[in-house]
Amino acid sequence: MIELIFATNNDNKVREIRQALPEGFSIVSLREAGIFKEIPEPHPSLEANATEKSMVIYELSGKNCFSEDSGLEAEALDGAPGVRSARFADEEPEYTSNTDKLLALLRDKGNRKARFKTVISLIIDGKETLFEGLCSGTIAPAPLGTNGFGYDPVFIPEGSNKTFGQMTLEEKQEFSHRKKAVKKLVVYLTGLAGSKQV
Ligand code: ITT
């Protein structure tokens, strides 16, 4: 069994990654590990924030772990909200949510292309490896569906006519940026386990 701490406070991410992992892998969230810590995300890139989260938890716990940082990049907004996806509407009282702000900024734009990006930072015995997953699609004119989290109700992945918010978790996994990054993580860890390095 490969056991890892998943350095996140986002229960939706835990649910999605648990569902995406094959047998033989077990993850423990920060809450389950008894670690109650808000990890800062001060950096201008998903990669640097992911590294910060996993390093902080590795140093604190001394255990192999991984984190992920993700964001939604809208083409017409030069990649915003991007690394600021979780805090996009913060401190701007005219927007009640991140999706409100995104829809307002895209209202007059013809180009509604966007992509989700996930970066996973894995730390095994102090050594970091990064994995990336992308999912291209478009931003819907208005929110549809209540499943998932974050921007799911406004994101339609390429190859579907439904938003992530209208999909079951199983359906979302067929397209998901997070699932693609997890698949790479699994291949890598399976290789390490084969050579008895984890
Ligand atoms: P941790 O840092 O504790 O892992 P977080 O919620 O702060 O959790 P991020 O900093 O990675 O996570 O922020 C990612 C934000 O991007 C998240 O809050 C959502 O708003 C959005 N997001 C990421 N993946 C998404 C997905 O699959 N569906 C919808 N929105 C997503």
Q: Is the CB of 47 under 6 A from ligand 1?
A: no
Cα 14 to the center of its chain, rounded Å:
10
In degrees rounded to 5, what are phi and psi of residue 73? -115, 115
Is residue 125 helix, strand or coil? coil
pLDDT at 38: 87
Residues of the chain predicted below pLDDT 50: none
Ligand 1 mean position, distance from CA 195 (Å):
33
pLDDT at 52: 97
Report the catalytic residues: 69
pLDDT at 75: 98
Q: What is the CATH number of domain 2-194?
A: 3.90.950.10
- Is-contact 68 46, C-beta < 8 A? no
pTM, to two decimals? 0.96
pLDDT at 67: 98
Q: Is the CB of 178 under 6 A from ligand 1?
A: yes
Q: Is the CB of 86 under 6 A from ligand 1?
A: yes
pLDDT at 195: 82
pLDDT at 69: 98
Residue nearest to atom 5 of ligand 1 (CA): 10
**Among all chains, which residue has been given the structure tokens 């208005």?**
142
Q: Where are the domains of the chain?
A: 2-194
